[in-house]
A and B are shown apart, each in its own frame.
Chain A
Amino acid sequence: MPTDQTRPAGPAALPERGAMLIVDDDAINCAILENIFAPYYDIDTAADGRAGLQCILARQDELCAVLLDVVMPELDGLQVLRALVDEGVLEKVPVFLITAEASGSVMKEAYALGVMDVISKPVIPYVVLRRVQSVVELFRARERLSNVVELQQADLLAQAKKIIELNKGLIEALAAAIEFRSEESGEHVRRIHDITRYLLLHTPLGEGMDMVQIEQIALASIMHDVGKIAVPDAILNKPGKLTPEEFEVMKGHTVQGARLLEQIPQLRENGAYPYARDIARHHHERWDGRGYPDGLKGDEISLWAQIVSLADVYDALSCKRVYKDAFPREKVNEMIRTGACGCFNPKLLACFFAVEDQLHKLYEQEERHGQG
């Protein structure tokens, strides 16, 4: 007997095959549905609700759709649905109720539980095919889209991170280049960054600041001496005491630094810019008002400029410079405490000395590093 293989026009076969589960205790029902969907899916069947539920839970990541009968032994279709809701499977796998009892209450509860569609038996092939395929395609499109968006977000984050790293690298390179001019190691700016960041993170000085702001201030601290690029080598590297005229030129690195930073448009759009400009101009102000260039006094000086000023003095005293040898740690702390070098906010000093043990470790590490 010839077998007629022509099929009614339905949605074209989807580009990707997937798995479908048919849960029905009636073998003829199973066979009819399998016959309809076999061209599009790898079909699995379960003959009762309990077996069906186990199969769904085991294969939830690969199933494209589940066709579920209502009246079945072991667990009925609604009981299976409730279990799937508890397991959070219905958001991932579209489930269709195929039922001869499309009564008001069954349908209402099924939809309330989150079933995709309720299709009445006996099924009409082109109807059940279209309704199921539309939903499967929707789920697939949604998943493709969310995969694309996730990948794009990861790409963007990676790119943004690279750009931030590059920016930071360029800023450090600029600052280090200036340090090298004054025959220093370039480690100075790195330590100023670390001391500033440490004080903000681990003392009350950083209270009310978020991580972004703290990182911006730490980054800005690196640029505190960029104005030295405008100071001639002869003055910058002079081993002895500067003449009053030379000192005036040297003092100008604060104003020159702020002016230099003002002239980089890309930096002006960066969150670190206001801090960088302020720190470059005011890191030689003094708490008593006798600093330069503006003679600001007390709280007129921003907290970050005060912190960098103290870090700068601490680091200068702790290390050898062209004009001086390194002082021992006790001497450094005494000079800062007594006001022999600089004049600082008492609250700032209290915070500083509270964590000086940890800050000093930056120098111990360096010595070890230098010896190795």
Chain B
Amino acid sequence: MDKAKLDALAAAGIDTADALERLMGSEALLQRFLRRFLEDGSLDALRAAVAAGDWAAALKASHTLKGMCGNLSMTALYGLFTRQVALLRAEDTAGAAALMPEIEAAYARVAAAVREL
């Protein structure tokens, strides 16, 4: 990956140096996992669960997303999902639902940068 692409990912909220260290320096793995992240259905599941008020399903989806974002060092999204998981565990469903616009915005930035690769 050239510097421009790495910079674009960094601007979208991904700590690429940290992610590459976790992947033992493999840029190929990083690219593969970033693409898989876009294909993952967990965000759709989260949206549906929040809309339906199914908070158990929302917790499951948010937890999965938190794990993936952590592994890929998506710092901004990871912070949002960490907060959402904590709110859902504390049964603050309104607070958890209120995070959705921020999550959508952060996700859109990441998705755009990944599609540019």
Q: Residues on A close to B: CB < 8 A?
A: 1-8, 26-29, 31-32, 35-36, 71, 100, 121-125
Closest B-chain residue to A69, C-beta based?
A: B67
Tell me the bound Cα distance from A71 to B64 in angstroms.
9
Closest A-chain residue to B59, C-beta based?
A: A71
How many of chain B's residues touch chain A, expressed as a range? 20 to 34
B112 within 8 A of A: no
In the complex, what residues of B have CB within 8 A of residue A36's CB?
Answer: 24
Given A1-B1, A100-B66, A121-B67: A28 and B72 interface contact (C-beta under 8 Å): yes
In the complex, what residues of B have CB within 8 A of residue A2's CB?
Answer: 27
In the complex, what residues of A have CB within 8 A of residue B70's CB?
Answer: 100, 121-122
Contact A124 B25 (CB under 8 A): no
Q: Residues on B close to A: CB < 8 A?
A: 1, 20-29, 31, 33, 36-37, 63-64, 66-68, 70-73
Is chain B's interface secondary structure helix, strand, loop, or mixed overall?
Answer: helix
Given A26-B67, A27-B36, A122-B73: A32 and B22 interface contact (C-beta under 8 Å): yes
In the complex, what residues of B have CB within 8 A of residue A122's CB?
Answer: 22, 67, 70-71, 73
> 5 extra interchain contacts, Cβ-Cβ under 8 A, other than A5-B25, A100-B63?
A26-B68, A32-B71, A121-B70, A122-B71, A125-B21
Contact B26 A28 (CB under 8 A): no
Tell me the bound Cα distance from A238 to B37 in angstroms.
109
Given A26-B67, A28-B72, A121-B70: A3 and B22 interface contact (C-beta under 8 Å): no
Closest B-chain residue to A5, C-beta based?
A: B25
Report B100 CB to chain A, min CB distance, Å: 21
Contact B24 A31 (CB under 8 A): no
Choose from A3, A8, A31, A100 the contact partner of B67 (Cβ within 8 Å).
Answer: A100
